[in-house]
A = this chain, B = another copy of it.
Amino acid sequence: MSGRVLVVDDVATNRLLLRAKLSSAYYDVVVAEDGPKALDLARSEQPDMVMLDVMMPGMDGFAVCARLKADPETAHIPVIMVTALDTAEERIRGLEAGADDFLSKPFNDLALFARVRSLMRMKMMFDELRLRDLTSRELGLAEVMPDQDIEAEPSGPILIAPPDAGRGGQLAAELGARLSIGTIVTSSEREALNLSRLELPDCFIVHQTLMEGGDGLRLVSALRARPETRQSAVILVVENGDVGTAAKGLDLGASDYIEAPFDVNELIARIRSQLRRKRYSDRLRSNVRNGLKLAVIDPLTGIYNRRYASQHMIRVMERARETGGVFAVMMIDLDKFKSINDRFGHDAGDAVLREFSRRLQENIRGVDLVARFGGEEFFVAMPDVDAGAAGHAAERIRRAIEDAPVRLPGGAGEVDVTVSIGVAVAGAGDGDAEAIIKRADSALYLSKEGGRNRVSFFARAA
């Protein structure tokens, strides 16, 4: 996949060289000769990636990287740091500034392009996720959290697939001590895959050669082919200088690689960087999911709203059609609720609505749907329930609120509350959802007319 790369270097020949290389592979290239220009261009040109020289007069590469990652407009753009000297300390410093990878001059083309392809792929995915997240933020539906506040400590265990038991044990001990997190050492590809289903690791450290003649690349590939591990962080450990395997690993979907032997501090910095990335995408995903949920939740009581109940009724009725069974619906209305609002104020009224929702949910099975239809009107749908059972449940609900007064907020005392309930039982062929709900509604009317605080059934015309 093509994309736009911002090349930042203070030396003109370096800029020209990288631009030529990237252009010949059909990337769109933009160049900047210093940090401040780079920061401007990163905002205005929306590059898909930044290749950033470390040593520059004025603002150096670390500083530029930190600034890019601190700005919400540019934080999601992958950064490759380009350096002449190439030490573990420098890499750790870069990772801590938020860099995604390092390349040392002179460039190895294989390593360069494999990394660029891998980061482009990641960027496209993030763009897709961010688009959705932006919508939720605009609508005020998303948890807004500065990107740099994302926790980078592992929460699940780290799974290590080592070349031999000795190195596996040693690495597990070092990581365990430093990250205060569980580690699992596996002895084969198959075991790694089985364990990953049971233990849901947050991160995989996969060596190029595994025990029992296993192939690290094959394991990377298998992890990426499975939906449950497709989003996990996978770091490939390759032999020193084996750029071919590293490139292959990135193309197969590894998140990152490190050359053995390595400084464990560098591995930890890389793990943190990958987990930060994973948490960020997880959060983008959950922001959208949560935003969507808000569309079907009543904000006052936290239970489903009428919109969701209508959708749910379609499924309840489909099920009745498939099984030939019946189901029951209830309409529940708080008695004389208006007078509670008038006597004690809206805050008290809200508290009563919340407390009733709570008791209602506590007294009805998990498979049953509870919803607020608006005002002081509630709805329950019970699949596979006949008239006798529905009557039991309705009575239980009636008593649940009658039996104990509701405590009002702010020390305003207590209030006795009762409800009227209308029940209708139906099966396939008894009309659409609206018709069935109307029947429960007319049964509710009977309860109100009959003096409130009671349960009535819709009586079928004979």
Contact = CB atoms under 8 A, between A and B. Distances in A.
Contact of A291 (B140, B224, B295): B295
A363 interface: no
Contacts of A132: 132, 285, 288-289, 292
Contacts of A306: 299
Closest 4 CB pairs between A and B? A140-B311, A295-B295, A2-B221, A26-B221
B253 A2 contact: yes
Nearest to A224: B2
Given A124-B125, A251-B1, A225 B295 contact: no
Task: Quickly give the copy total for this chain.
Answer: 2
A310 interface: yes
A26 B129 contact: no
Nearest to A47: B225
B221 A141 contact: no
A375 B128 CA distance: 38
B141 A295 contact: yes
Given A124-B125, A125-B124, A225 B28 contact: yes
Interface string A98-140: 0000000000000000000000010011011101100110011
Interface of A: 1-4, 26-28, 46, 48, 121, 124-125, 127-129, 131-132, 135-136, 139-141, 217-218, 220-222, 224-225, 227, 248, 251-253, 285, 288-289, 291-296, 299, 306-308, 310-312, 314, 375
A27 B253 CA distance: 11
A347 to B, nearest CB: 13
Contacts of A140: 296, 307-308, 310-312, 314
B2 A252 contact: yes
A269 B219 CA distance: 39
Contact of A253 (B1, B222, B375): B1
A292 B295 CA distance: 7
A333 to B, nearest CB: 13
A250 to B, nearest CB: 10
Nearest to A250: B1
A27 B225 contact: yes
Contact of A296 (B129, B139, B218, B224): B139
B293 A292 contact: no
